[in-house]
Structures are given as C-alpha cells and as structure tokens.
Structure 1
C-alpha cells in the first residue's frame, strides 16, 4: 500500500536512544501496598481462620499439644492456600492489564510504527487518531478534523477542537481522541506530563457485587448467624452437663466450624477466576470476573456490521461514472472515466487516511493514475464530516494557486446539494440502491470550482457538480453464518445495529444467514418513538440501520426495560455509551478504540464474534457447575452438623463424637472437591440448546434447595444408622467415632459422583471427561487409609482401627445414601421421555 508522506521523518534510532538516556522513559511510577501483607490480612480476618486459631489455643490450654499442633498445621495450610490464590489472582490481573493496555503510534525514520507507550521519548512524533488514548504530552504540528475529550483533566465532558494554527495545539496524556487525526511532537513524558504532575490515577476500577454474589453473601451471612446461635447453645449444654468452660468452648467451636459454609464464597471466587483465565486462553479478555457469571444468561446480542459480521476490508469494488453512465468493475479501474471518479473521491478523503475506505481510495489512485500530484497540493480548507446523513468537503491548493474542491458522503446528501434535475437524482438513487442491494457500501462523489477566500459557513451552501459513485465491498466473515446459527440454537436473539443503510446491511445480513432482515428501523424513525412504542418495536425488529450514539443507547435501554440480558459489540467512539449501558459490553481487540475498550466488560482479542458462542457456553457451564458445587456443599454440611449436634441435644451415649480436628479434616477434603472437581466438569449435553436462565432467579430455587436438603438427610440417616449400630453392639466410643467418620468420607465420595449431573445417573457421568475425579478421590481414600492404619494418626484422631468387614459396611452405607437421589433422577428421565413420545 502507498506510504503517505509525513510532514517530518521523526527521530532516528540513535536519537531515540539519546533522548531516553537524557529524559528517561514514559512511566508514571507509583507505590503499591504489599500484595503479600494485604492477602495475609484478608486471610487472617476470615471466620474459619479465627475459629481454627481459637480452637488451637484451647487445645494448648487443655494440655493437648498434638491436636493443637495439628490445627496450627491446618492454619498454615489455609494461609498458604489463601496467599497463593491471591498471588495467582494478582498475576492474572497484571497479565490482563498488559493484554488490554493501549499502544501508541509514532513516526520514526520516516515510517509510522506501533510501540508501547512506555517507549515514547521526548521529541517523538506521536500519531493520534479517533478513539486513541493520548500517550504523552505533545504539540500538534499537523491535524485533520481533530478533537479531544479532556474530561480526565478538566472535568468537562464536551470535546475540544485542536489544531496547530489557532494556538490550541497542546495534547495531554490520558485524554481521548474523539475525532480525526493529529501528529504532535512529544514535549513531556512520565511524571512531567500534566497527568503525572497531578498524580491522577486512571487505572482504578471500582467493582460492584453481582446479583449472584449478593445472594451467596446473604446465604453465608445467615448460616454464620445460625452458627453463632448453635455455638452458644452447644457451649451452654456442655457446660451444664459438667464440662469446664474451656472444653465447652471447644465443643461449641466444633459445631460452629461444621455450620459455616465458607467453601461457598471460595468456590464462587475460584469458579469466576478460573473461568476468566480459561476465556483469556480462548482469546476473550474478561475485565471483571463477575462478567463470567452474566455470560450464561445473555438473551440478546446486539452486533454492529463492519468488522464484526464482515471482514472490515472495505476495498473499492465498483465505480459509477455519472458522465459515462457506466459502472466499472475492478479490472476496469484504469479507464479515464473511472480514474476521474476515483481521483475526486481521493481528494475528498483525509490526506493521511485512517479509515479503511479512504486508505483503499489512496491505494487505487496511486495504482492507476499516470501522474501522482498529491505531494504538490496541501490542505487549504476543510469542512469536517457533518449533516444527517453525513458528508465532508476538502479544499486543496498547490503552490501555483491551483485549487481542488472535492466532496464525498451519503448519496442522499451529495445529490441534494448537486446541480441535478429530478430525473437525474432518481436515476442516481436507483443506481445506488442497486449497488447497495448487492451488499456494497456506496458513497457519492462531487466537486466544486470555488475560487474565492470567503468560504461559506457550511459545505451545504456550496453548489456541487455530481461526478459519480464509489462502491466498497466488505464481505461477511467465513464463520459468521455458523455463529448466528449457534446463537439461535442457544435461544439468543441477534440484532444488527449499524450506521450503514438498510439495503447494504440487508444484503450482507442475508449472506450471513441473519434472521429478521424484512423488518428494519432507521435512527431517525427510532428517535421519534416514545419509550412505550420503542419497547414494543425492539421485540420484533432485528435490523437497525443509520444508527447514531443516541439511537444505539435508546435501543439498549429499551431491551433492558423488556427484561432482556443484553450483550453489545462495538469498536468506535460512538459505541461507548451503549457498551457501558449493556449488561455485557464487548469491544474488539484489534480495531477497537480505547473508549470502546474502557466502556466494555470484555474484549474479543481477534475481533471474532464466534468466540462469543464459546463465551456463552463457558458462562452456562460455569453457572451450572457452580450450582452443583453449592448443592454439594449444602448436602455434605447437613450430616456433619447433625452428627455433631443430635447426639448432644438428644442425650445419646456418646454426645461429642467429633472434635475440631475431625471437622477441619473433612473441610480440607470438601474444599478441593467443590472448587477443583466441579469447576473442571465439562459442559453437559444439551446445555447450549436450552433457553438462557433468568438473571433475577436465585442461585438455588426452593426445589433445588429441597433436593440438597434431602441428599443431606439421606447421608445423615446412614451416618446415624452406623452410630446406633455401634451403640447397640456395645462398640467403644473410639470405634464408633471411626465408623461414623469413615461413613461420612465414603458418603462424600459417592455424593461427589452423584452431583455431577442432576439428570443423568452417576454411572452415565463416568463418560464425562474430568481427569481430576480419579485423582481427588484417590487422594481422599489414601488419606482415609492412613487415618485408619497409622498408629500416630489413630491416636491423634481418637480412632480405633476397624475390621475390613466394618469398613466395607461403611462403604455400603455411603453408597446406599445416594440411591434415593438416583431413583429421583431416573423418574425425572422417564417423565421427560414420556412427554417427548
């Protein structure tokens, strides 16, 4: 492609090195609080840590150092895991910042190159264009239609026009380009920039809790209150039964540990963090982990056309000459009539093009013109893009006072201000509609012979000579048809929101397999509808054309008012408000502007919409597996709570069957089970052909909670059966404790397998690929074997080695506890199959 000449060649490599030595790098250094100490503080304030610490102290007071040291080891393990998780999270966040960080464009050695902002030096020629975050302070030396949002420094939200001529030429780091392109010479970097001097941080992101987080926190808070109440009751009952206050506190802490479901928030955090990591490996950058949860409930995806549905190549494909009354194909662009239209269109473009269509015009002009005169002309006056539909006019002049006045824009605008008869206007419209219907993006081209210096206030006051049409083609992506099909199968509605016209968009949408082409609405029509009418129209309309920022935002608000969970793709400055307003804002990684990326909640690294199908599948899988994990946690906590409390409150023979040592061991087994095994479960069959879940529904319905309680009660029945079996046979307290504990461990293993699906049998789920299942179960059984056979551990846990027959009985009882749930799943399958038949 033609390299557009720049006003200067920029710094050489040697000059860059010297400038960096003299002035340093473009970095704003700031001190951060120690991640280790912050993680340590958070871990120490966790309720489970405080309970463990209190229990360990009580053991030492009671002169039982073995138990005390065991709990200290558990405390160290809990701290290590917490700090390690925090370390991994910080590393992921740093990698995320690096991945989503903006780049800077500079001119060096006569070439435009892209570098990290930290590499900018004093004297660099910084190129800033629409959507960019300005990377250093600079003075403009050349600009086109350039305006900047400086709200980060001034607090004012409106954009400011900047150029080299009228004195307002300063560019400041951290501000955002709203329109146009400018080249500026860097005069301050790092701490010496205006942003650096005032110490304003632009990296801080304030996160809010998601509905699911709030529901989980509320549930855990209620359980914590219940734990406090039973702690007090158990302490009182034990004290009244003759125990001293130290032992009574220890028994109370045992039950408090069994009641507190601290695995639930840990599981939520783990699922979201690992989900974000998995998505990042798929090329989907999640800026906040809460977004992972929302993905699975998306009901509508609003997508733009250019670059999302299409390739974003925008190559010149057809040229219509008004004088010749002929359409020229690509292999006919060397015709003089075609060259005339292309030349006027090129002069109507920016001298340093950044739009794909303008780049194509410059390239085709250079390829087919016999004499390239661009270097002989410079911009003399310009009318920036304006009007609805928009048009733009550029005026160039050479050293010998030759002048070129060229305009291009929407066909409707150009023909309105051209000297044409009504018949000619209708003929041009017919030609434009024909090209648009084939999927081409059509622009009209005109010229003017204005000679004076007293330019009118608006370009619409000029009288133009119509020259012709230029038609660009941006073909649909190869995978977009399948992508739409996958969205439709998943119950997700797709809507196209574009600034292009209905004919072009409809043609591309038809090629892409989009549903709902026949019913469209344009921006002006939409703005005339009141809120109630718009809420009705967005239900049945899938194609929105000639859209502008205010119209896009109204669509998103109307969809949300209808109860939809809205995902919105965007890449431009004007997409920012709609991206921010949607539940899931999706920015394009390659061509997305900094405003779009900052407003979005996730970024598609390679601009591939098909990745959103994977993201939705991941969101649904994570939510489904998280529910399995939470139901497992509730189910397994019930028998632990009842095994600790019922013998005490009912005055049974062995009232305090478990101590904190036993409960913490079970907690250490349950934690990895719910956080590691269930997170690694594959997506269940048919999950992506179900309708999206409602965002407002609780993470556990009463039916689902009832299932978990039922499972827990079945395990409790099995455990208490073993307890009474032991009492009836006059077993010792240590052997009774051993068999009850062993039954709980086996029940935990079988519950883990049963909860892998709430529809298919646990035997069927062996087909699911999860390599962690055999590993975690093998480790659990190995630890149980050691507890039952190593003399030191037998003494520490107050166990008595059981016979093989009694161990087998515990395993059988554990298996039988899941049989009622398996029968429930069987009845569920039979009911659904009978409905289908």
Structure 2
C-alpha cells in the first residue's frame, strides 16, 4: 500500500517534522527482513502468554463431576463388592468409553473455538523495506514502525515519531473514557497495546511487545474472566438440574421400596441406580456445547467470524437488520464524478476543467487528511494528482487541524509554506451553507444543484476556504468566515448482488432498515435502484432526536431510511427496536458505529473496511464485507437452532421409554421386574449420545427454513407444544416396548427372550425415531434424501453392534439375551417401527393444513 496516491518517488530529509507533508511514508524505511528476523529471535513474538490450566486435565476434572460418570463408578464398585466382577469390569470400561466420547466432543468444540481465535487475530500496518504492508499483530517485532489510524486498535507499545491530529482512548488501562491527544514532541508521546485510536494517524517505533507491554504486565487478570452463560444455556442447564433432582428422588424412593421388599442392600441399590441412570439426560449439555462451537466453526468457513457464542443461538431470531449504505449496499469504490463551482454548471470531473474548477479540487484535497484512508479523500488526492499542476504537497506544513465534527459534520485543515496559508474545509453541504455567508438566492441555487446530484445517487461534499491572519485560532471551525468554493460529487455504485440479498431477507420475514450518515436524497436514490422496500419513508437524525422515546418506538417501525445519522441517533434506533421486542442486527464499520453495534443483539462489523473499534464492539464479523453472507449466517443460525431442538426432542422422547420400561415392571410387580440392568442402560446411552450430537448436528437445513418468520426471542427453548410432542412420542414407544413385554409373557417366553424382544423393540424405535425426527414437517420419504452421510454410518454401527449382542453367544450371555427367532425379532422391529412412524400422519395433516391456507 502507498500512503500517498499519485506519488511515484521523491526524497526528503531524514528529520521527521510532525507537521510536514513529505513523500513515501515520510521517508521512513522501517526494518529490513533480516532485522525483523533478528528482532524476533531476540524478543519473541507479539503474543500474550500466561500460565493456563491444562485443558485435558480440566476436561477430566469436569468429567469426574458428571452425575452419569459418578453413577457408573458407584454401580461398578457395588458389582465388585457383591462379587459380580464381569458387570463391574463392563461398567468400569464403559466409564472409559463415555469419557472418551465426551473428551472427543470437547476436543471438537475446543478445536473449533481455537480456530476462531486464530482467525480473529487483529492485523496491523507496518513500514518495512520502505513499503507499508499489512501483517498479523503476532508478527510485529520490536523496532517496527507501526502505522495506526482512526478506529484501529494499537497492537504493541511504542514511541510516536509522526502524528496528525492523533488522539487515543486509553480506558482499558486508565479507566478514563475521554481521549488523550499525543504527538512526538509532547511528554506523552507513547502508545500502548490494547488502546484504540480515536482520531487522526500516527507512526510509532515499537518498543515493547507481548508480555513486556504495559497491558501484558497487568494482563493476568484477563485470564480469570469467565463468559456469562447465555439464556438458552441457562434454560438447558436448569432443565438438566431438574432431571438430576428428579433422578435423585426416584433413586431414593426405589431404593427404599426395594430394600423393604427384599432386605437385600446391594440388589436394591443396583436397581435404584439403574433407574437413576435412565433418567439423567446428560447428552443435552454435550449436544448444546457441540452445536454452538461447531456452528461457529461452520460460520467461520463461510467467511462469517462469530466472536461470541451467544450470537449463534440469536442469529435464527433476527427480525430486523439495520444496514449502513456505503460499502454494504454499495461497492465503496468512490470516484469523483461531478463538480460544481458557483456561477457555472455541473461539470463531469473526467472532462476538461477550467481554472476555478481546478482550484476547487485543490482546496478539497487540502481539506482532506494528508495521509488519506477514507475512499472519498483518496479519490480527491487522486484527482488532484491528475490536474497537471505543480504538486504543492511536499512543501506545505500543517499548522492546525479541526477534526470532523458537528451536525452535520465538517472538518478543517490549516497549512503554511513560505508565508502562504491555506485554510480548507469540507463536509456536508448543509454544514458549509450555514457558515459561508451566502444570501438566500445563492443558497437556493446551490440547493437546487444538490437536489439534482443527490437524486441521481451521488454523494456530495461541499468545499470552503477561509482567511485568518493570526495564530490565535478560534475554538471551533464554524467560527471561521468561509467562502463557499463549490461541490464535489462522488459515485459509489450499488453492489451487483444487493437486490437479491434484500429479497432473501424479505422472504425470511426480516425487516431491513437503512441507517446512514449520508443525506436523504442520495440514500433514497440508491435505495430505489436496488429495489429497497419503503425507500420513500425517511427521517433524519436531528428529527429523530426531537421525538420522545414512545414516538421513536413508533417511528422506527414506520420509517425505512434513517439519514444523517450520528452515534446517539443510531443507538436510539437500536434501543427503540429492542423496546419493541425485536431482535435487531446492525452492520457498521466506523468508530461512530461502536455504541450501536455493542447495543444490538447482533452487531455486524465489516472485516475489510471495518475499524478495530467496530470489530471490537461487534459480535460477528463479515470477512468479505458482503451482506449476502449475513443471509447465510441467519440461515445457519436457524439451522443450528432447529437441529439442536431436534436433538433435544429426540433425547427427551427416547429417555421416557427407557425410564418407564425400567420402572413400571418393578413398580407393578410384573413377572420379570428387572428387565434391564445398568449394562443395558449404559449401552442405550452410548447409542443415544452419537445420534443426538453427531447425526443431528450434521443435518442440512430444511428447504422451508428461510421462508418462515423469525422465531420470537421470547419463545423459550422448552415450550409446551414441543415438549408435549416429545412426551407423546416417548409414551408411544413405551406402549410399544411394554406391549412386546406382555406379548412375550403371554406366550410363555422366559426372561432372556422377553428381555431380548423388549431391547430389540427399543433399539428399533431409537433408529426409526432418529429418521422420523429429522423433520417435524416433511415426510420420512423426503428427509431420507437429505444429504447426511453420518445417518447411515451411525445407524449401521448401531444395528451391527445390536446384532452382535443378540447373536454372538458370549455377549448375549453377558447381557442376559438369547438369540431370538426371525418371528421374535420381526415383532420387536415391527412394533418399534409402528410406535414411531405414526407421527408421519401428524406431519401429513400439518402439510395438508399449510397447503389449504
């Protein structure tokens, strides 16, 4: 990157005057590649490293406190004490297997999150070998010349060697929210890692990196910060806790009843533990963490970086998206298209220009930053370089600067060279018209030109020039007596795909609002071109701020374009939508977008043009600045949420028959009260775990997902309608297993055959439930065509292992089974199928009703 457009070379002295207008990065050569290598070898990489708890041992410690693991260990110990070594060894082995599965899932989640951390590592600009390049912050070395500009996060400690209107927010270190102005010649000429640039630009020589920075030395406290659980996470944890309490109560009741019935302590304890195991839904929190982490990883692969896990669960609920215009709806490729000088006509900037028009472009360039990074300022510097006049930039020194400010905004720069002074301003036309001393007739003519240009979608800046002889400069730029020099009009074409993106949002039931700092006419013109609904309904920031909170809540619903917006107005829009119980997403890239991005349920920063402040405030980053990725992200959010619900509904449905098949024969005193023992329960748990957290996590998005209205955020995860569905499914499977039990008893089958048939029915029901619950709307014949290779793999493994348990004699004896006949196994599979596929009738009725609407 070349910091001065239009320059091909040139030399200046090596003394860095902080107000000079030099060439080629102020002649700062930076480090060579060899110097970088030597510095890295001596000082290391720019990363914070503190002693952290070993993640493997942390996972083991967490496992050791899991209720299911504790139950397995206790039951295994009881078997050993009672002399039943085989069952004790099996359960002890199952602890290892359950732990291995849990560690694998935990590893997948941690690896996904680690990749996210690496992907979101901040970048910075440095001067090396005489050129400005972009690197990751970790590659920064001591001695580097770091370029920091407005909105960027400072990635190491350093000493300023050049600055322009440079101020820094050091709240992370000092707790003070106001900005601190710094330059090379002041006592306060040091920048620190973790602080953010509030205004201007600086070049600093790096003096400390990593743990040696001021932030690094106090950063150990950052390691202790824990993330707060999300609402969904709390709902799931509360549900599991309730089930644990229920399991504990049932355990005590069954243990006491059995003991007073048989007076056999170990036997009654094993029966009670069997029931407690069947109640615990320990797969649910594992499924949740797996879905969230892998969901974030999948989004990252799509070019959407999720910084906060809660965003994954919120995405599917997004009901309003507030998008800025420049760079989001448009290409952000500003080109100077038209110019206007009072007393003449609108002129094409690419055509032949007269002296007045050239002078106006010259003044617009002086009003820009000396090292431009804004697309419009870059365009003005480029236009100045093509005027064919002597380049004055290397000679003039900046003596004062008024940063962008005011409502509407403007900025002013003061330069001097050999007694000549330039005072140049640019900004919103309304700002310059207000302070330029024009009469009403002149204002009306200029406003007519502005309307003509904005109606065609041009973005307008006004240019002014002032004269001020002394050095006691006024406190505000508005106090200068400006001469209105003219208008510069830029064209930023709409993105080619933006019309289709908007239609995707509309189809998904998501309301789109445009929130921009640009004027109403330009925004409405662009909005009309891209097919934006409600482009004629507009309100300005000043108008919005005059309304009461209740009026703002109504106005945000009625208006679709919000123009001339500033930070307070943007924040008020977000809060109004939240007060209206809307889940609001907002895109932004600038420093002034930070508060609103932070306040939005889903703050979306742009990865390429977004400032570090915007990225820090946002919960999600679009790496390619492409709004279509937001459509994909919302689709992924809906898919993750839907699949997680399927997984948890499956867990609830399959747990009910396990619990009741263990409990009812025992409670009702049937002929074979102990139809299942802990070894059967643990096998079923091993079948269910992979099904819910592997199969359902990999399920594709259903075809009707993005034509449904957003899920209201007020809807709880465990709503009664869905819980009722799961409970009824579970009770129907229970009826099937107990019917097979009674059928076996009626036909005089012994306990082994009865157990085998009941177990076969439960496994068959599990397999068919997995298939049926892939959709609660589309039929099994539709979902069977969904692309998910893991379905066939997991089901095949389940069937193969079940077959081995039934027909491999040592295994069958151990599990208390007996090889069933074709008729017996056919009855088990058939009843298991019927106890689940009845739900296809319910789905058919749903589709019928939907078609009739």
TM-score (structure 2 length as normaliser):
0.95
1:111 aligns with 2:131: yes
2:592 maps to which residue? 574
| 1:275 counterpart (276, 279, 295) | 295
| 1:793 counterpart (780, 793, 811) | 811
Aligned 1:727-806 pairs, distance under 5 A:
727-806=745-824
1:393 aligns with 2:412: yes
Q: Secondary structure at the match of 2:402?
A: strand
| 1:174 counterpart (190, 194, 197) | 194
2:182 maps to which residue? 162
1:358 aligns with 2:362: no
Q: How far 1:367 moved relative to its partner?
A: 2.3
| 1:668 counterpart (686, 689, 702) | 686
C-alpha distance in 1, partners of 2:711/2:796?
Answer: 35
Q: How far 1:706 moved relative to its partner?
A: 1.8
1:381 aligns with 2:400: yes
2:340 maps to which residue? 320
Over residues 333-385 of structure 1, what are the superposed CA-to-partner deviations in whole Å (9 max), with x where a residue is unaligned? 55444322211111111111121111111112112333212111121222222
Please list every run of 5 or more consecutive structure 2 residues that lacks an aligned counterpart in the other structure.
Answer: 8-22
2:16 maps to which residue? none
C-alpha distance in 2, partners of 1:701/1:154?
Answer: 46
1:307 maps to which residue? 327
1:2 maps to which residue? 6
> Cα gap change, 1:715/1:374 in structure 2, threshold over 3 Å: closer, same or farther?
same
2:351 maps to which residue? 332
1:341 aligns with 2:345: no
Q: Do the aligned partners of 1:235 and 1:249 also contact (CA within 8 Å) in 2?
A: yes
Aligned 1:116-127 pairs, distance under 5 A:
116-127=136-147
2:14 maps to which residue? none
2:13 maps to which residue? none
Q: Do the aligned partners of 2:123 and 2:135 also contact (CA within 8 Å) in 1?
A: yes
Q: How far 1:140 moved relative to its partner?
A: 2.1
Q: Secondary structure at the match of 2:816?
A: coil
Q: Do the aligned partners of 1:35 and 1:87 also contact (CA within 8 Å) in 2?
A: no
| 2:269 counterpart (220, 243, 249) | 249
| 1:508 counterpart (526, 533, 542) | 526
Q: Secondary structure at the match of 2:680?
A: helix
Q: How far 1:24 moved relative to its partner?
A: 4.3
> Cα gap change, 1:121/1:681 in structure 2, threshold over 3 Å: closer, same or farther?
closer
Q: How far 1:808 moved relative to its partner?
A: 1.0
Q: Do the aligned partners of 2:337 and 2:350 also contact (CA within 8 Å) in 1?
A: no
C-alpha distance in 2, partners of 1:333/1:174?
Answer: 49
Q: How far 1:44 moved relative to its partner?
A: 1.2
- Higher alpha-carbon deviation: 812-821 or 250-259: 812-821
1:82 maps to which residue? 102
| 1:550 counterpart (545, 554, 568) | 568
Report how many residues are paired: 833
Q: Do the aligned partners of 1:333 and 1:339 also contact (CA within 8 Å) in 2?
A: no
Q: Do the aligned partners of 1:339 and 1:369 also contact (CA within 8 Å) in 2?
A: no
C-alpha distance in 1, partners of 2:785/2:211?
Answer: 59
C-alpha distance in 1, partners of 2:223/2:424?
Answer: 43
Q: Do the aligned partners of 1:149 and 1:175 also contact (CA within 8 Å) in 2?
A: yes
1:461 aligns with 2:479: yes
Q: Do the aligned partners of 1:211 and 1:696 also contact (CA within 8 Å) in 2?
A: no
2:251 maps to which residue? 231
| 1:288 counterpart (292, 308, 313) | 308
Q: How far 1:208 moved relative to its partner?
A: 2.5
C-alpha distance in 1, partners of 2:716/2:488?
Answer: 55
Aligned 1:551-700 pairs, distance under 5 A:
551-700=569-718
C-alpha distance in 2, partners of 1:489/1:150?
Answer: 44
Please list every run of 5 or more consecutive structure 1 residues that lacks an aligned counterpart in the other structure.
Answer: none
Q: Secondary structure at the match of 1:477?
A: coil
> Cα gap change, 1:620/1:17 in structure 2, threshold over 3 Å: closer, same or farther?
closer
Aligned 1:147-226 pairs, distance under 5 A:
147-199=167-219, 206-226=226-246
Q: Secondary structure at the match of 1:376?
A: coil
> Cα gap change, 1:88/1:631 in structure 2, threshold over 3 Å: closer, same or farther?
closer
C-alpha distance in 2, partners of 1:218/1:199?
Answer: 34
Q: How far 1:49 moved relative to its partner?
A: 0.8
C-alpha distance in 2, partners of 1:96/1:504?
Answer: 38
Q: How far 1:202 moved relative to its partner?
A: 5.4
C-alpha distance in 2, partners of 1:17/1:775?
Answer: 50
1:415 maps to which residue? 433
- Higher alpha-carbon deviation: 199-208 or 376-385: 199-208
Q: How far 1:403 moved relative to its partner?
A: 2.1
2:15 maps to which residue? none
1:537 aligns with 2:555: yes
C-alpha distance in 2, partners of 1:25/1:372?
Answer: 41
Q: How far 1:88 moved relative to its partner?
A: 2.6
Q: How far 1:760 moved relative to its partner?
A: 2.6
Aligned 1:445-460 pairs, distance under 5 A:
445-460=463-478
Over residues 301-345 of structure 1, what are the superposed CA-to-partner deviations in whole Å (9 max), with x where a residue is unaligned? 11111111111112211111225x122224315544432221111
Q: How far 1:240 moved relative to its partner?
A: 2.2
Q: Do the aligned partners of 2:435 and 2:482 also contact (CA within 8 Å) in 1?
A: yes
> Cα gap change, 1:425/1:677 in structure 2, threshold over 3 Å: closer, same or farther?
same
| 2:157 counterpart (124, 137, 140) | 137
Over residues 798-831 of structure 1, what are the superposed CA-to-partner deviations in whole Å (9 max), with x where a residue is unaligned? 1111111211111111122124322222333333
TM-score (structure 1 length as normaliser):
0.96
Q: Do the aligned partners of 1:147 and 1:178 also contact (CA within 8 Å) in 2?
A: yes
Q: Secondary structure at the match of 1:769?
A: coil
| 1:524 counterpart (508, 528, 542) | 542
Q: Secondary structure at the match of 1:817?
A: helix
Q: How far 1:602 moved relative to its partner?
A: 1.1
Q: How far 1:22 moved relative to its partner?
A: 4.7
C-alpha distance in 2, partners of 1:244/1:15?
Answer: 79
C-alpha distance in 2, partners of 1:286/1:363?
Answer: 37
Q: How far 1:205 moved relative to its partner?
A: 6.0
Q: Do the aligned partners of 1:9 and 1:109 also contact (CA within 8 Å) in 2?
A: no
> Cα gap change, 1:333/1:803 in structure 2, threshold over 3 Å: closer, same or farther?
farther
- Higher alpha-carbon deviation: 676-685 or 423-432: 676-685
Q: How far 1:7 moved relative to its partner?
A: 2.4
Q: Secondary structure at the match of 1:326?
A: coil
Q: Do the aligned partners of 1:492 and 1:692 also contact (CA within 8 Å) in 2?
A: yes
